Amino acid sequence: MENASLVGLSRQVALRRELDVISNNIANMNTTGFKADSMLFAEFLMPKARDDSFMRPDRPLSFVEDRATVSNFAGGEIQTTGDPTDVAIDGEGFFEVESDKGVRYTRNGSFKVDATGMLVTSEGYRVMTTNGPLQLAPNETGFTVDQDGQVATSEGTRGKLRVVRFANLAGVKKETSTTFSAAATPTDVTSATRLIQGAVEKSNVQGIAEMSRLVEVTRSYQDLSSLLERQDELRRTSIERLADVPA
């Protein structure tokens, strides 16, 4: 395959991956606590040939490299729901939850009480407090959460919701649509962060911007496909004409 085709193919692969990311953002526009993703690309220069004795030395080829997918941790709009088990974070930080794989982190505060009385996320992960997972008795009423995360019921204070922060968000990796993992040890949030009961944080996806980007990437992919098809047609025509040259 010619170099131009290889370079074009690398760009197509990158555009296809970006289309997947944009489509996922649009699909999660209404997902509580969802953080939009974007692609990080870089230029990859193919090394020169080992033998430098050619009359025309090889030039390095520039390919498109898909380096990583990064999440935008900017806060989303806070929406009032009126449900007492819903809690939104106003400021930086994540709720600490416990999954079957260990401790995870989320901004999705759409909590509920399961059949066993455990306070869980929409994915079924146990919500952590300073006293561990919070399990309510059948007769408990008056569930309240203050702006510092203190949980109280008719049985008194039940602990404080674990809300933590990370000094470097680059190490926070998305596992599900709203759940993250991190190898670094988190720290407590500052006093600037407060919790709002009866509300949730909506997705931070900018719908118009994502739709515009989707159209732009789709057109780039189509234009590149047309260019590669024309180049392939030119190659076939050249071969046919060479075959017609008398020996």
The pLDDT of residue 130 is: 92
Indicate if the pLDDT at residue 104 is higher than 90: yes
The helix, strand and coil proportions of the chain, stated in percent and rounded to the nearest 5, come to: 25, 35, 40
Q: How far apart are the first and last CA of the chain?
A: 26
The answer to whether 136 and 143 have CB atoms below 8 angstroms apart is: yes
Residues 236, 14: Cα–Cα separation, whole Å: 27
Indicate if the pLDDT at residue 188 is higher than 90: yes
Indicate if the pLDDT at residue 48 is higher than 60: no
The string of pLDDT tens digits covering residues 207-224 is: 999 999 999 999 988 887
The string of pLDDT tens digits covering residues 130-150 is: 999 999 999 999 999 999 999
Indicate if the pLDDT at residue 168 is higher than 60: yes
Indicate if the pLDDT at residue 1 is higher than 50: no
Kindly report the pTM of this predicted structure: 0.81
